[in-house]
Structure 1
């Protein structure tokens, strides 16, 4: 499930909805894998990761401009907030 969560490509609203369901399933089945498993810490990490996502995309050599909102960028930010400190 974790591999699918991190490798899933999100190109549409439908994909994003499926991603959110998978994210929820991952959280409910493996909360211990979430550094930020409380709403307060998750929202703080979400905000911080949204600021730092250009660097994350550069480091992972993604050819994506995170300043142009799309479904994949939203998913990347949510995934990043799972463990971002």
Structure 2
């Protein structure tokens, strides 16, 4: 079974593409582990997490990035998998 991928510090766009492939594989193999297994719910969750992410960064003690990195995009996709 494909495990849920994790972000890699300093990841590049190819690392992100690999992470997306791993997310797709994980969804196919273990849809029960996804809170948002269909596109509608996934996109709704992605939007909600994006709107709420200043709180995530505040809790981490980090500034909200002005420009998204590949790693931030990966974090957003991973969060949308389970964010309610």
Q: Could you state the TM-score of these two structures normalised by the residue count of structure 2?
A: 0.83
Shift of 1:63: 4.3
RMSD: 1.7
Provide the residue aligned with 2:54 in structure 1: 54
Instruction: Please say which structure displays the higher CA radius of gyration.
Output: 2
Structure 1, unaligned stretches of length 5 or more? none
Quick one: distance in 2 between partners of 1:15 and 1:50?
21
Paired residues for 1:1-85 under 5 Å: 1-2=3-4, 5-6=5-6, 8-9=7-8, 11-59=11-59, 61=60, 63=62, 65-85=64-84
Structure 2, unaligned stretches of length 5 or more? none
Judged with a 3 Å threshold, the aligned counterparts in structure 2 of structure 1 residues 62 and 34 are, in CA distance, closer, same or farther, namely: farther
Shift of 1:51: 1.1
Shift of 1:12: 0.5
Q: Could you state the TM-score of these two structures normalised by the residue count of structure 1?
A: 0.82
- Corresponding pairs, count: 81
Judged with a 3 Å threshold, the aligned counterparts in structure 2 of structure 1 residues 55 and 75 are, in CA distance, closer, same or farther, namely: same
Judged with a 3 Å threshold, the aligned counterparts in structure 2 of structure 1 residues 58 and 44 are, in CA distance, closer, same or farther, namely: same
